[in-house]
Structure formats: C-alpha cells, structure tokens
Structure 1
C-alpha cells in the first residue's frame, strides 16, 4: 500500500508539473504574439504609389533647370506650377501651429524674417521664408533668374515692378541713377492662390513683400543667387514718376503705374535669420 500510494502521488505530481509547464509555455507564446502586434510591417496597400509632392518638385526642377541662362519653356512652367499649386503646408513639414510659432519671432524693434533652405545646387534652390505679421522683405531683384513662389500660409502683400527698358541695363556696372519701372503687381494674396512666376526681365522681377498676418511661402529659384556668377541681390527705393519731370518719357497715361527705382545699400530689414530645414527630406537622384 505505501508503495502504491507513493506511485500514485508521483504520477499526480508528474501530471501537475506537466500542466504547469504547458501553462508557462502558453504564456510565453502569448507574450511573443503581443510584441509582434506592436510593430507590424506596414500593409502593402498603405505604401504610397507616387512620390511625395516635394520629391516630385525636386525631380521636375532637375529636369527644367539646366544652369545659368535657362528660362523654362511654357510647358515646363506649367509643370512646375501644377506641382506647386497642389502643395500644402504639410508637404514641407508645416503644421497648424506654424503661424503661432512664426509670430514668436518678433525681436526687439521689428519682426525678423526667417529662411530655411530645403535644397540647393548650382542650377536651382528650394527655400522657405517665414514672416511674422508686419515683417517685410524690401524691394529687391532676381538678376538672370526665374522664380516660382507658392504662398503656403497667411496673408501676403506683394508689390512688383518690371523695368520699362530692360535692354538698357548693364549688369556688369552698378546702377548710378534712377531707372523707370512699370508696376506689375500690387495686391494681397491668401491661400489657396496660384503660384506666381517672375522671369529675368519681366513678370515682376523686382518686388517687395509685406506680411499682413504671419506668413510662410516657398520659393523655387533657378538658378539661385551667386555673387561669383554675377547674380547678386540689389535693393531699391521707389520714387514717384513726378520726381523726375524731365525723364525719358514725356507723357504717361497712368503715372501711378510708373515709378523711378534707385539702387540703395542693403537695408537693415533685409537681414534674415536662417534655420535648419527639418521637414520631409528629398531623396537626391543620381546624375
């Protein structure tokens, strides 16, 4: 009897240990399944089938801008405008809080403009500009450049001019006297609005902007500024047409649309702060 009882006890103990072992193994399997569930691979259907708009813009710019002297043909202008027209703040990493953050960059005395370079090469550059309310970028030019501007946030006033006689300009020598310019744009813009385009000699190549509210806009410059290549930025002050009654034009039907632009030294308000771009990154294509 004692032996038999011992055998029964041993069998029962063995069964209990086996059950406990199985319970532990089941618990371990369950824990592993939970970990896998926290980091599942993305389903195939959620992966984007087309590049992001910023990447598409970069690839289009690579195709359109071939270096100094390049002026995009109408079809290329339409291509870039179509991409830019569809771009939204989130495509370059901006959020609903961006406007309040822009408003914080109001230093002592005057609001400061901030710029951030998304991409830069010899043929083109992609830059963002952030303007607190009442901030200005003074009247300046884009020599030998085609520029596409897309307003992403805010309300922006743009005033732009073209030279009446651009052929008379000699970019190799400084402008020593005022030159006559025709008003091209004098309006306030709010998103969604069409992309604006200016060309080397027309379209509002000389312009100034003022933020009515906190603003952010994206510029495509082709080619970018370069002192070495003679594409340095010049600044101007505008004077009424009547300031020079003996000017080159004796009669002007709408004097308000014409101004004399005089080149000046770089204004203090043209100084900008630069910040690192932290939005969606461009994947550079091989040459």
Structure 2
C-alpha cells in the first residue's frame, strides 16, 4: 500500500507539471532570471539560455494570437498603420508583452536604455534593422557636408552608430536578444506581413527612472564630417549611420488591448 501511495503521488505531481502552460513557464523563469538584475545588469549566461530555450519553443498557440485577428486589418490610408500591444505582465524587474503589427506596420528606430530584450517572432515576416553606438559616444553638433542639399541648415546633434542587423526574418525563427550596449540596442521593426512579436524586457521602460523610449532619425555616414570619426581600411560606410534623437514620430499609434490567451498566475 505504501508503494502504491508513493506511485500515485508521483503521477499527480507529473500531471500538475504538465498543466503548466508555456506562458506561465516563461513568467516563472523571468522571475528567477531577472531576480538579481537591474538597469544595465545583464542576466547570467545560464539565465539567458534558459529564457532563450523557452521562447524558441513558443508558438502563437501558446499565447492565443493568430493572423486573422481584427488587429491586423488595415483601415488607415496614410501614415503608420496602428500597432496593438497586448500586456501580459510587468513588475519592476521585467515585462512581457506582444506587439501585433499589420502589414506595413512600423515600429520606428527606438532604443532600450539599460535593458536586455528578448524578441520572439511568433508568425509573419518582418524586416529588422538594428544599431549599436560606436563608442560611449558624445554627441557632436555638425552641419551637413558642403555638397549636401542641406548645407545651409543649422548643425544638428548626432551620434555615430554601427549597423548590427539588416535582414528579413520569417517565423519560425530563433529568438533575437539585444543587450544594453550590444546586439542592436536600437532597432526598427517593419512588418512585411501580419506579424506578432513576443517581447521580454528586463527591466521595463520607466520614465521616472530615466528609461524612456527614445526615437531616432538616421543619416548616412557621408552626410556629416567629423575629424575623429574615420573608418578603418576595409570598413564600409553603409555599415555606419549618424543618429539624431527625435520626438515620437507623428502618426505612430500603439494601442493597448486585452490579452485573452492563457493566463499568467503572478506569484
């Protein structure tokens, strides 16, 4: 009888384990991985691998999204198509959410200050363009070169960045990871079809703490001259760009909506 009781308890424990949803497992792992992290602090290599493995295995079914949802119907005739954000969870250590981008939807070039970010494309085809700062990067105020059509425009404050990613991605594909100072901390998403992106940010944006989303305009490397910014032999100018901070682009709308997928039990 004793052995039968032990065997029964093991079966019950296995059944409980099977009932843990993928999104709950993601939340539980985030809570552990980001527990001792903070602004600018990257999780351990082991923690990054744990999260990456979970996200790599997740599909649209795990979060209840699909390409025929009404959020992907384009109604606008100009400007940016509306993007929808589904909030799953947020605390001071991390946030989990899903961006739903209709065809031609764009999240313009923006940064992730002091964050480690995991992005998993659940479905669709998306173009990602991402940059990292070349150095600690003091801003320089510079006027366009004399041969530029904007030569009479007053100097602008720009900073040099290097291109890290400039490619199309189609689901299923592996999770992309960016770090506070590497991996393409500033990126732009352009949906070529209806796309869903599951995002994990650690820590999340926080305006009072200075982690606000900043947008950028890019200029070709040749557009400005800077005495201390010369390319080494073999480097291509198209791999670099000058970035200028700008206000949130007009017409960009990210609308919050209710997440109706498998629920997360926050512990």
Aligned counterpart for 2:174 among listed residues 194, 197, 208: 194
Q: Compared with structure 1, are the counterparts of its residues 276 and 105 closer, same or farther at alpha carbon in structure 2 (3 Å cutoff)?
A: farther
CA contact (8 A) 2:137 2:160 kept: no
Q: Does 1:49 align with 2:31?
A: no
Q: What is the match of residue 91 of structure 2?
A: 121
Q: Compared with structure 1, are the counterparts of its residues 193 and 119 closer, same or farther at alpha carbon in structure 2 (3 Å cutoff)?
A: same
Q: Give the aligned CA root-mean-square deviation in angstroms.
A: 2.1
Which digits, 9 at most, give the CA deviation of each residue in 1:174-211, with x for residues without a partner?
xx710000000000101111100001111000010100
Q: What is the match of residue 246 of structure 2?
A: 264
Aligned counterpart for 2:136 among listed residues 156, 166, 188: 166
Q: Shift in Å at residue 105 of structure 1? A: 4.3
Greater relative contact order structure (CA < 8 Å, 6+ sep):
2
Aligned counterpart for 1:246 among listed residues 226, 234, 248: 226
Structure with greater Cα Rg = 1
Aligned counterpart for 2:27 among listed residues 58, 61, 74: 58
Aligned counterpart for 1:152 among listed residues 100, 122, 133: 122
Report the secondary structure of 2:27's partner residue: helix
Q: Shift in Å at residue 168 of structure 1? A: 4.4
The answer for unaligned runs of 5 or more in structure 2 is: 1-11, 140-155
Q: Shift in Å at residue 65 of structure 1? A: 1.1
Q: Which runs of 4+ in 1 moved over 6 A?
A: none
Give the TM-score normalised by structure 2. 0.82
CA contact (8 A) 2:137 2:159 kept: no
Q: What is the match of residue 9 of structure 1?
A: none
> Following the alignment from structure 1 to structure 2, what is the Cα–Cα distance between the partners of residues 223 and 45?
33
Q: What is the match of residue 73 of structure 1?
A: 44
> Following the alignment from structure 2 to structure 1, what is the Cα–Cα distance between the partners of residues 57 and 75?
30
CA contact (8 A) 2:26 2:55 kept: yes
CA contact (8 A) 1:136 1:269 kept: no
The answer for unaligned runs of 5 or more in structure 1 is: 1-43, 170-175
Q: What is the match of residue 107 of structure 2?
A: 137
CA contact (8 A) 1:162 1:205 kept: yes
> Following the alignment from structure 2 to structure 1, what is the Cα–Cα distance between the partners of residues 41 and 229?
32
Q: What is the match of residue 265 of structure 2?
A: 283
> Following the alignment from structure 1 to structure 2, what is the Cα–Cα distance between the partners of residues 158 and 283?
32
CA contact (8 A) 2:138 2:159 kept: no
CA contact (8 A) 1:102 1:214 kept: no
Q: Compared with structure 1, are the counterparts of its residues 168 and 55 closer, same or farther at alpha carbon in structure 2 (3 Å cutoff)?
A: same
Q: Does 1:101 align with 2:70?
A: yes
Q: What is the match of residue 56 of structure 2?
A: 85
Give the TM-score normalised by structure 1. 0.77
Q: Compared with structure 1, are the counterparts of its residues 138 and 243 closer, same or farther at alpha carbon in structure 2 (3 Å cutoff)?
A: same
